[in-house]
């Protein structure tokens, strides 16, 4: 499952790591692939991703075996992470002249699944539609789009949908937009309710019932190298992400 939205600041990385944490809390095995050079997902999951750490760059550019680059999340025994270092910023250039540049991640995952098993792979993308995001879209079966309950909520989604259709037509016929998650919901404002209604009209089937509220705890957690689920499980934000993860797992189990 790719977590993607070319618009920045929508809670994309926060969603990726906390959905992973929520699924792991339910006893599932989860791999998080950090394909964003900023490495924020790696930070939130408490894994080493300083310069020189073997991670996503080596898997994509050097075709390093994925299993040898995975790190276990210290706070979540069921979560493994493919970390992103600053080296990944050069991957777009490094991949331009390579053969099958769009399928490097898919090839790595196929090799992994020949020998190992996890229940979910969650890929955190950069807020752009370059080669890194393209690799994620080619490798994935599903897309989750976080959409914030603020002005211009659907800005960027149109272009992402065009890219999805392009990938489906040429590189990955199995790709589907399965999940839309409303983030940064403020129940005190009419705006949040209006945006939520608008998103549900556009994506009636895909939008989860659970909404993620604005939460100080959600914002604080990454500074402690944790997800909000491990940082403050009883907080409103953590409970919302656990609920969203449960919905996703239930949908997967029923073939939604």
Domain boundaries, the chain: 2-249
C-alpha 183/C-alpha 230 separation (Å) is: 19
From 203, 156, 212, 216, select the one nearest 185 (Cα to Cα). Answer: 212
CATH topology of domain 2-249: Rossmann fold (3.40.50)
pLDDT digits (tens, 9 = 90+) for 67-84: 999 999 999 999 999 999
Span 185-210, mean pLDDT?
A: 91
Using DSSP, state whether 127 is helix, strand or coil.
coil
Say what the pTM is. 0.93
pLDDT digits (tens, 9 = 90+) for 224-241: 989 999 999 999 999 999
What's the confidence (pLDDT) of residue 254?
52
Whether 75 and 230 have beta carbons less than 8 Å apart is answered as yes
Helix spans in the chain (H): 12-25, 40-44, 56-61, 91-96, 104-113, 131-139, 157-170, 190-202, 216-220, 228-231, 236-254
pLDDT digits (tens, 9 = 90+) for 147-176: 988 888 777 788 788 888 888 888 899 999
């Amino acid at each position: 499952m790719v977590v993607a939205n070319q618009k920045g600041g929508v809670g994309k990385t926060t969603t990726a790591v906390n959905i992973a944490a929520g699924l792991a809390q339910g006893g599932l095995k989860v791999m998080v692939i950090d394909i964003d050079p900023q490495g924020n997902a790696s930070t939130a999951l408490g894994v080493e991703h300083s310069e020189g750490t073997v991670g996503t760059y080596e898997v994509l550019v050097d075709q390093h075996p994925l299993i040898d680059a995975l790190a276990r999340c210290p706070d979540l025994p069921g979560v493994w992470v493919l970390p992103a270092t600053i080296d990944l910023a050069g991957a777009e250039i490094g991949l331009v002249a390579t053969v099958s540049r769009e399928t490097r991640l898919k090839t790595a995952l196929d090799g992994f699944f020949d020998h190992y098993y996890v229940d979910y792979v969650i890929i955190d993308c950069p807020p752009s539609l370059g080669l890194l995001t393209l690799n994620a879209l080619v490798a994935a079966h599903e897309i989750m789009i976080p959409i914030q309950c603020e002005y211009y909520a659907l800005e960027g989604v149109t272009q992402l949908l065009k890219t999805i259709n392009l990938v489906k037509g040429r590189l990955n016929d199995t790709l589907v937009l399965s999940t839309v998650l409303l983030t940064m919901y403020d129940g005190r404002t009419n705006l949040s309710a209006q945006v939520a209604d608008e998103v549900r009209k556009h994506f009636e089937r895909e939008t989860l019932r659970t909404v993620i509220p604005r939460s100080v705890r959600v914002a604080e957690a990454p500074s402690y190298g944790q997800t909000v689920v491990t940082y403050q499980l009883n907080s409103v934000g953590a409970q919302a992400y656990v609920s969203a993860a449960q919905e996703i797992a239930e949908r997967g189990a029923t073939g939604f």
